Amino acid sequence: MSTLTTSPDKLRIAIAQLNPVMGDLQGNLAKAREARKTAADAQADLILFTELFICGYPPEDLVSKPAFVKACEKTVQALALETADGGPGIIIGSPLQRESGLHNAVMVLDGGKVIAERYKVDLPNYGEFDEQRNFQAGAMPGPVNFRGVRLGIPVCEDIWGELGVCETLAESGAEILLVPNGSPYHRSKMEVRHQVAVRQVVETGLPLVYANQTGGQDELLFDGGSFVINANHHLAVQLPQFEELVSMTDWTRGEDGWSCADGDRTWLPEGEEADYLACMHGLRDYVNKNGFKSVVLGLSGGLDSAICAALAVDALGKDRVHTVMLPYRYTSDISLKDAKDCAEALGCRYDIVSIAEPVEGFLNVLEPMFAGTESGVTEENLQSRARGVILMAISNKFGSMVVTTGNKSEMAVGYATLYGDMNGGFNPIKDLYKMQVYALADWRNHYLPEGAMGPEGEVVPQNIIDKAPSAELRDNQTDQDSLPPYPVLDAVLEALVEHEKSVEEIVGMGFERAVVERVEHLLYIAEYKRRQSAPGVKITTKNFGRDRRYPITNRFRDRH
């Protein structure tokens, strides 16, 4: 490897937008080595990795284990020794235990050693973040002198909050802001990131490099989208979302300071395309990182299972997806046809397993106890639970993870059966309201996403989109027998969940009071079900679980 010498007026910085695996220190080290070699081959002076890259982000309570934290630092120290070759220096994130506490830190490696450490100051404690539980805030940082260039290294939230970290760095002589991030996806997040970065550029007068992690970690999907904004507010570089890469940026020092030359300017997906890609990559990484060879799901002939099947095939390929139709006496011929058509369009395995015998068996053994009662929800739920047992048996026998398929509207109001259709390891549409699922299906039928492994064309049969949604647990059943129309339900739920609006405010938006009060009641009493639901990709600004944590025991109702 050749020795690189930084010119006082020239600098090449590589941005490592990569997908670490939580806790896989040696695997992440190998990724870092490979990325550094790419940077060295491109004659880069420095490579910037993302927040806590060596262990993955967010590590949550893993960092409460001293052996884990020590192993992280030891791994980075090994990487530091390799910089004695004169190649690119490294900025990389790791948890660090110091006398001042346990820190979310970055380490600057050059010349065969660690030349500086900086600790995250502003620890986020909202939404999906609870870093104040795990880390100690660092002191206000100064710049790091790297080969004659003074680098400010604020970490993720340090550029979002109001503590003035970037201003402090500018006042103490920083020339460029290099920001390692672990910023997860939600709809329209890229626009928000740009606004936050521009605000810091305006306030400091410094150019800013925003390096963001990509890939899925449990419910969170990190979408990359790293970028560079110059001091004149010009977007010089925009890297793609949902993609691993190492990209070079070229810098020149002029009379007005450092400036980045125009580089990659990737078009960014929006709306349904971005949401679909997030769901697809989130499912792919959850399955692959947890070592599942395949997935299985119930294909009912309904919309939710159809879009989940499409997502699974796009994420994993048709040979790793097994769909199963589980009919009973209330399953219509139309649903049987729609399910088969969907599986054939996707090219994945499709089996039919009748649940008649197990359901009748349950009813027979319970008949003495149920004698004299009316048939109702209990008997309907036996159908769902029989399906859940069969899918879990297939999972146990063949090692396939069960994909569960309930949307956010259903999860919000409890229109789902514990130990039945809620069975599963992961739910790619858990954070999508029903009307958003319709939009996603329509979009997918017209476009093949970048990186998808499924076929082009219509993969969700149009009849599935057009017909009235039904659980088919009794004759002539539709979802609207039990719930408000989905456009109304979704709008009320979004107001209650995403915006925490009061009943009065929502009634003032034009909705019937009785509907709003009923939906609010259903939302509260379904909390115990949501606590037992599978994880799923975060898409909205407030998902169930990480973002919205309400008590199960809760008698509050917003009434006047």
Among candidate residues 156, 166, 279, 348, the one labeled active-site is: 156
51 is known as an active-site residue: yes
φ, ψ for residue 399 (rounded to 5)?
75, 20
Two tokens, residue 431? 């954070």
> Does the annotation list 305 as a binding residue?
yes
Among candidate residues 31, 55, 72, 120, the one labeled active-site is: 120
Could you tell me if 386 and 473 are in contact, meaning their C-beta atoms sit under 8 angstroms apart?
no
> Does the annotation list 496 as a binding residue?
no
> Does the annotation list 126 as a binding residue?
yes
> Does the annotation list 204 as a binding residue?
no
Query: Which of 178, 148, 183, 181 shows the shortest CA–CA distance to 166?
Result: 178
Among candidate residues 51, 73, 175, 243, the one labeled active-site is: 51
Which residues are within 8 A (CB) of 447 and not within 5 positions of it... i.e. 6 or more apart?
A: 273
> Does the annotation list 301 as a binding residue?
yes
Could you tell me if 278 and 219 are in contact, meaning their C-beta atoms sit under 8 angstroms apart?
no
Task: State how far the Cα of 470 lies from the Cα of 169, in Å rounded to an integer.
Answer: 58
> Does the annotation list 183 as a binding residue?
yes
Residue 511's identity, in one-letter code, is F
> Does the annotation list 410 as a binding residue?
yes
72 is known as an active-site residue: no
Q: Where are the alpha helices (DSSP H) in 349-461?
A: 356-370, 377-398, 408-413, 434-446
Q: Where are the alpha helices (DSSP H) in 56-188?
A: 66-82, 165-171
- Please compute Rg for the chain using Cα positions: 26
Task: State how far the Cα of 30 lies from the Cα of 36, in Å rounded to an integer.
Answer: 10
CB atoms within 10 A of CB 349: 15
> Does the annotation list 7 as a binding residue?
no
Host H or E run for residue 11: strand 10-17
> Does the annotation list 302 as a binding residue?
yes
Q: Is the N-terminal amide bond of 535 cis, ω within 30° of 0?
A: no
156 is known as an active-site residue: yes
Host H or E run for residue 536: none
> Does the annotation list 304 as a binding residue?
yes
> Does the annotation list 298 as a binding residue?
yes
Binding residues for L-glutamine: 126, 183, 189
Residues known to be catalytic = 51, 120, 156
Binding residues for deamido-NAD(+): 381, 410, 529
Binding residues for ATP: 298-305, 405
